[in-house]
Structure formats: C-alpha cells, structure tokens
Amino acid sequence: MLKDKIAHLVAENELLFPIERAYAVKQGLIQETTETDNKEWSFPVIERCLKETEEVIQAEPESFMNEPVSYFSKNVDEFLYVESNAFETIGVDGIAFEMDDVFETFTVLFGLKVQKKWGSFLKEYLDANVGSKTYSAMFSDKDGLWDVNVPLDQLDGFHKEMAMKDTMDLAYRFIFNLLEAIEAAN
C-alpha cells in the first residue's frame, strides 16, 4: 500500500518529503544519489472548530499554521481540523488537533484507512511508541476506518512552542512510520 503510493509519486516525478525520499531509497524506488526537491506542506482546509458542537468557528489562512501549538492551551474549547493533499499518501482524509483539557495533553486525531485485521498490530505499535493507555484506537464498521487519538506529547521532537505546521509534519511522520511497520509485517 505505502510502497505503491510512493512508487506512484516517484513515477510522476512528484516532490517528496524527506521521510518519503528515505523510504523510496530503502525500497529501491530511487537511488541514493537521485536529486529530489523537498515537498512543502500545503493545507487547503484549515478550520478552527468548537469541540462541543464541531461547528466551524473560522476558516484560517495558511499563515495560521505558523502559530505555536500552545495556542490550544489558551483555547481549550477549540480544535483544529486540517486537510492536505499529502495526507492521501498515508490514507488519511484529515487530521484534527486539540488540547485534551482532562489529561492536559496535546492530541492528534485521525481516521486511518487500515483493515480491521491489523487491530492487534496497530495497538501493539501504539503501546510501544506512545505508551499503553495514552492513546485510543477503535475500528468503525460504519466507515471502515480506525479512529485513532494519539498524544503528541509522547512523540519525540514535540514541544508546545513548535508551529502547528511542524506538529502536522510530526504527526505525518508518525503515521508514515506506523504504515511502514504494518507493511513490513505483512
């Protein structure tokens, strides 16, 4: 699944994120010496929403993604919903980000397009990489997605003053690594 998507990007001469380029080299899709420019993030949908009703407060410009994550420490009744064409590679339509006011952690939520049979592996991976009992992952028969909620505070490199764009990059890399592990176990 991941290999096919990256192979398609390579075949179309698309730009690659560094993690995608490293994967393409590891899989023999490109040579180590192949010159590629880095893909830049683009977010066609950036919406601040109310947690309680999921009502959109305001669509934000791309510059909002330069705000520090700590914005949500002061606005705990809000969450951020973001879409990017780059998410297609990892089988995610959109990512939501919020401050969990009960546990006082920053969390990322997403629907992951992975078959139900990968449930045990998914949970073992999350246990090993974010700690047991710090995440939630439930399969929805309705839409065929895993609804995953991961505390960003548990991910290497996270700090509350990082820009939201960098937080989305961190989440992307985490999901990418998860999918790579699933693919290797297949």
Whether residue 133 is predicted with pLDDT greater than 80 in this model: the reply is no
Cβ atoms of 108 and 152 closer than 8 Å: yes
Q: What is the pTM of this model?
A: 0.93
**CA dist., res. 183 & res. 186, Å (int):** 5
Percentage of residues in the chain with pLDDT exceeding 90?
77
Contact residues for 6 (Cβ-Cβ < 8 A; gap 6+): 16, 20, 23, 24, 27, 29, 89
For the structural domain made of 42-175, what CATH number should be given? 3.30.1460
Structure tokens at 145: 């997605």
Question: Model confidence over 103-116: pLDDT tens digits?
Answer: 888 999 999 999 99
What average pLDDT does the segment 18-35 reach? 91
Domain-wise residue ranges, the chain: 1-40, 42-175
At residue 3, the 3 state secondary structure works out as: helix
Whether residue 1 is predicted with pLDDT greater than 90 in this model: the reply is no
Whether residue 147 is predicted with pLDDT greater than 80 in this model: the reply is yes
Contact residues for 161 (Cβ-Cβ < 8 A; gap 6+): 68, 69, 70
